[in-house]
Amino acid sequence: MRKNLVILHLESVSQSAFWQFMADLPELWKLSARSGNFRRFYTASTSSVMSMCEMLHGDSAELDHNPVFPRHKDGLAGRSSNLFQVLLDRGYATKGVQYGSFCLGDAPNNFWGIWPYACGQFIRHDKIEEFHGDIRHFIRESKAKNRPFALYHWNMSTHIRNDPESDFEELGFAKRFKVKYRLLDESVKRLLDDLAEAGVLDNTIIAAYGDHGDDFWGHGLSRGRTHVIEPYATVCWTPFFIFNNGFDRGIFDNLASNIDIKPTLLSMLFPDMPAETGASLFAGVNLISGSRKTAFSQSIFALQLEHSDPCQAVIKSYAVTNGEIRLMASSGGNKPEEGGMELFLEQWDFGNTKNLLDFFQLDKNGRIAAFDSHGAVHPHFTMSFTRQRIVSLAGTYDLLRQNLADFIAAKEREAMKISRDGKKQLFPMEMFKVVRKKRR
């Protein structure tokens, strides 16, 4: 029989949180140790539902044409098929199960059309035992019918807005999150126990991915937001691993994005299945047979308005990484003077705290013109910034800068093709000539 599939949506779990709260995530770490881990995995956006949509469709442009947060059920562009619809069409029993509330609707059926009814049932539960019971029943029922199944497992207790079934009022900041991570980990244990009890664990692929992390105001207040902010690595660098008895364990160093999950899993489930046609700059790649040189991330839809509602305002930002160096360009939101570019050494500066462009002077076209050490003379600094490394860094910057500008332009072209709004909300490309200054 075909292998079963479980998607573990690790809500608000960044790579840093995965490591910092290791003691509270023992089951996830055990599962990870038995899996293939993609350590350089970056989500294509900084929001839960956007990341979910990108993963399910293997495409990062499904929502770009919406000028405001869509409140209707047809918010998708229809560029690509949904992973679970593909599986349902191929004979799988499919289901999505969610625990915890979400601010935009009861379940993905009810907002944006991210999970249309053609993908099968999607149920939200307010009680954790109902969540676990629904999953257990689905696994057992599929086994009884001798039918392969695909389950979307989404425990939202770790979202910052959720305080599920607990009085967290007296808990300190870290303790509150420790409780949340333990709730998530217990759900993983219950899932694995249910799969083992049904005798299907060894025939089940489990793909676990972090949708985004949280940035607790380390890069500015952003009206108090912790995500749906600029795509710093603190938000976009998340765990991704695949458990499969027939898949290599260990660490994979190749660059990966959440849009790569769909084509990779389909190739594992259906080795003879041809890849979807119409691949684009926004489409995922099969990580088993291919690779990517860069991974892009963004804060919000390409045409998202920035200033219509101060409470909803988000600084429009895009980033590109080659796995070692991250370049980000930000509009500045309602303060254009705070827009511009930031460049980070991704592998060393995990928090994206130091903009390397502060060490350079740019010419009128935004290209590096000169190096400025700001008076640093210690050998630790001078031996790091050798002439050869400065030249290499400048060359990488030029390449990433062009890649990012081309990506943004292509995003906006595609979005305008089907925009329901006549307004053009273009990213201010003059920001590619400005070094972004540190904000309060």
Helix (H), strand (E), coil (C) string for the chain? CCCEEEEEEECCCCHHHHHHCHHHCHHHHHHHHCCEEECCEECCECCHHHHHHHHHHCECCCCCCCCCCCCCCCCCCCCCCCHHHHHHHCCCEEEEEEECCCCCCCCHHHCCCCCCHHHCEEEEECCHHHHHHHHHHHHHHHHHCCCCEEEEEEEHHHCCCCCCCCCCCCCCHHHHHHHHHHHHHHHHHHHHHHHHHCCCHHHEEEEEEECCCCCCCECECHHHCCCCCCCCHHHHECCEEEECCCCCCEEECCCEEHHHHHHHHHHHHCCCCCCCCCCCCCECCCCCCCCCCCEEEECCCCCCCCCCCCCCCCCCEEEEECCCEEEEEECCCCCHHHCEEEEEECCCCCCCCCCHHHHEEECCCCCEEEECCCCCCCHHHHCCCCHHHHHHHHHHHHHHHHHHHHHHHHHHHHHHHCCCCCCCCCCCHHHHHCECCCCC
CATH number belonging to domain 4-292 = 3.40.720.10
pLDDT by residue for the chain (440 residues), tens only, comes to 799 999 999 999 999 999 999 999 999 999 999 999 999 999 999 989 899 999 999 999 999 988 776 666 678 898 899 999 999 999 999 999 999 876 555 556 556 788 888 899 999 898 999 999 999 999 999 999 999 999 999 999 888 776 666 666 667 778 888 889 999 999 999 999 999 999 999 999 999 999 999 898 888 877 777 788 899 999 999 999 999 986 788 899 999 999 999 999 999 999 888 776 556 889 999 998 888 999 999 998 888 876 555 566 678 999 999 999 999 999 987 778 889 999 999 989 999 999 999 999 999 999 999 999 999 999 999 999 999 999 999 999 999 999 999 999 999 999 998 887 666 778 999 999 999 987 64
**pLDDT value at residue 388:** 94
**pLDDT for position 276:** 66
In the prediction, which pLDDT does 71 show? 62
Q: What was the pLDDT predicted at 199?
A: 97
pLDDT number for residue 439: 62
| Residue 107, pLDDT score | 55
**What pLDDT is stored for residue 248 in this prediction?**
80
What's the pLDDT score for residue 216? 83
pLDDT on residue 154: 95
Instruction: Report pLDDT for 177.
Output: 84
Domain map of the chain by residue range?
A: 4-292, 297-433
The whole-number pLDDT of residue 128 equals 93
